[in-house]
């Protein structure tokens, strides 16, 4: 038993070191100014993401379970608490960008200090506490993705159209492959996480669901197909939910976020690799739930339920697809191959028609950690599958992401479904 416990500590030690290193690598070419600015209330500065993920380990592991631990700076607990009421006061989310101190260098020193303390403590932690370290690693991977999506929004405000990191790939001119419909299972199915690996609380418990006869599109909706919708879709109120139509009018929405016309009147798309001509066969990206739902109605289809999506994703390998790794592909890519159903993981998060609600039998964990997901189960919709800036290995078939229906700065796209 002792040997197994040590092996578990070694595994989480390696995992912790790898995740923490990746976060620092994401900001290695950014200035203090790049990491301090906040472009909108929904986004957070890169510097804050680096510090908040560090605060998570300090607050939930070191301060709770390591005797005589001395915080790096006790006042950081207010600066870098996100939404945990049980952990005390915090600054308003929209005010994170006005906190110019501490500097990026000091936050990097904060990370080194906490990393060393966690590494020293791991061997002596109980398995239940090491599971909190593993949760912290997955939490940090979520913030790696948020750091990149928030940075993209920040860079998009700059008339210089700066490049964060060039892609190693180039756009293709291939025409989109014809869309095919793949019939899904129907009747009684099981959904939710039921395995022995990691899962977030909102993925549990595994439970029974009922599926009516249906089919899913074998690939994601493309930019070319979205252009056809744009010819009249943003001007036809009958296609839109009432709140969606009000959002379109109030915000003068005419195209996906980050689409821009150049002097030639051709559409381009701004991304982490700069401004590039719109790739027609690539998945449409940065669209809201309102837009996704309107497109589906225009196409004579609908959005899949999360149970339909998960039943299709049970067999494909969730580590495949265009996800964040060392290849620096930070832009959705066209569908490839001839599999039965493609692009389930990576490229873009896929809106479902399902509200983010608790599964039958869901219970929040005791204490502050119980605030992780459960308190957000109101007014949001579920997305599935991950994106090109989701760390590889982070998602799985049961993974539930969630956003409000108007939000689209994340890498969000569309897969169609229909009744049979």
> Is it the case that residue 4 has pLDDT exceeding 60?
no
Model pLDDT for residues 384-411, shown as the tens digit of each residue:
999 999 999 999 999 999 999 999 999 9
> Is it the case that residue 171 has pLDDT exceeding 60?
no
Taking residues 35-63, report their average pLDDT.
97
> Is it the case that residue 9 has pLDDT exceeding 90?
no
pLDDT band at 25; cut points 50, 70, 90: very high
> Is it the case that residue 5 has pLDDT exceeding 70?
no
Please name which of 312, 329, 348, 330 lies closest in space to residue 223, comparing C-alpha atoms. Answer: 348
Lowest mean pLDDT among 52-61, 153-162, 167-176, 246-255: 167-176
Model pLDDT for residues 293-337, shown as the tens digit of each residue:
999 999 999 999 999 999 999 877 777 888 998 766 789 999 987
Q: Where are the domains of the chain?
A: 2-156, 181-419
pLDDT band at 53; cut points 50, 70, 90: very high
3-state secondary structure of 316: coil
Q: Percentage helix, strand, coil, to 5, in the chain? A: 40, 15, 50
Taking residues 140-158, report their average pLDDT.
98
Q: What is the pLDDT of residue 44?
A: 97
Taking residues 247-252, report their average pLDDT.
97
Mean pLDDT of the chain: 92
277's tokens: 């001509």
CATH topology of domain 181-419: 3.90.1580
Is the fold of 2-156 the same as that of 181-419? Answer: no
pLDDT band at 371; cut points 50, 70, 90: confident
Q: What is the pLDDT of residue 385?
A: 97
Model pLDDT for residues 174-226, shown as the tens digit of each residue:
667 889 999 999 999 999 998 788 999 999 999 999 999 999 999 999 999 99
CATH topology of domain 2-156: 1.20.120
pLDDT band at 7; cut points 50, 70, 90: low
List b or e across 284-310, with b for residues whose CB sees 16 or more CB atoms inside 10 angstroms: bbbbbbbbbbbbbbbbebebbbbbbbb
Distance, in Å, from the CA atom of 81 to the CA atom of 60, rounded to the nearest integer, reads: 11
């Amino acid at each position: 038993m002792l040997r197994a416990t040590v092996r578990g500590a070694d595994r989480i030690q390696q995992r912790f070191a790898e995740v923490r290193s990746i976060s620092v690598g994401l900001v290695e070419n950014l200035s203090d100014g790049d990491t301090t600015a906040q472009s909108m209330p929904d986004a957070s500065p890169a510097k804050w993401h680096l510090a908040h993920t560090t605060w998570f380990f300090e607050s939930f592991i070191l301060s709770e379970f390591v005797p005589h631990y001395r915080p790096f700076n006790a006042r950081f607990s207010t600066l870098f608490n996100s939404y945990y009421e049980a952990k005390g006061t915090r600054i308003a989310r929209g005010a994170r960008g006005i906190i110019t101190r501490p500097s990026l260098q000091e936050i990097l020193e904060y990370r080194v200090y906490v990393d060393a303390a966690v590494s020293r403590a791991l061997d002596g932690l109980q398995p239940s506490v090491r599971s909190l370290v593993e949760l912290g690693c997955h939490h940090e991977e979520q913030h790696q993705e948020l750091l990149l999506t928030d940075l993209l929004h920040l860079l998009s405000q700059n008339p210089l159209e700066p490049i964060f990191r060039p892609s190693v790939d180039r756009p293709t001119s291939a025409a989109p492959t014809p869309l095919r419909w793949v019939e899904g299972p129907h009747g009684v199915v099981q959904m939710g996480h039921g395995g022995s690996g990691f899962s977030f609380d909102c993925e549990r418990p595994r439970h029974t669901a009922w599926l009516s006869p249906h089919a899913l599109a074998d690939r994601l909706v493309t930019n070319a197909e979205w252009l056809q919708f744009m010819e009249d879709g943003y001007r036809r109120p009958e296609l839109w939910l009432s709140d969606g139509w009000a959002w379109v009018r109030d915000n003068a929405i005419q195209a996906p976020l980050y689409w821009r016309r150049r002097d030639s009147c051709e559409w381009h798309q701004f991304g982490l690799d700069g401004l590039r001509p719109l790739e027609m066969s690539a998945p449409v990206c940065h669209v809201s739930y309102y837009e996704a739902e309107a497109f589906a109605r225009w196409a004579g289809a609908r959005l899949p339920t999360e149970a339909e999506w998960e039943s299709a994703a049970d067999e494909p390998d969730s580590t495949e697809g265009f996800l964040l790794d060392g290849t620096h592909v930070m832009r959705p890519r066209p569908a490839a191959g001839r599999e039965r159903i493609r692009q389930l993981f990576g490229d873009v998060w896929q809106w479902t028609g399902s509200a983010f609600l608790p599964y039958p039998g869901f219970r929040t964990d005791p204490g502050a950690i119980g605030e992780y997901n459960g308190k957000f189960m109101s007014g949001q919709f579920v997305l599935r599958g991950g994106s090109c800036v989701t760390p590889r290995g982070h998602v799985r078939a049961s993974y539930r992401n969630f956003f409000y229906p108007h939000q689209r700065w994340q890498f969000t796209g569309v897969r169609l479904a229909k009744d049979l």
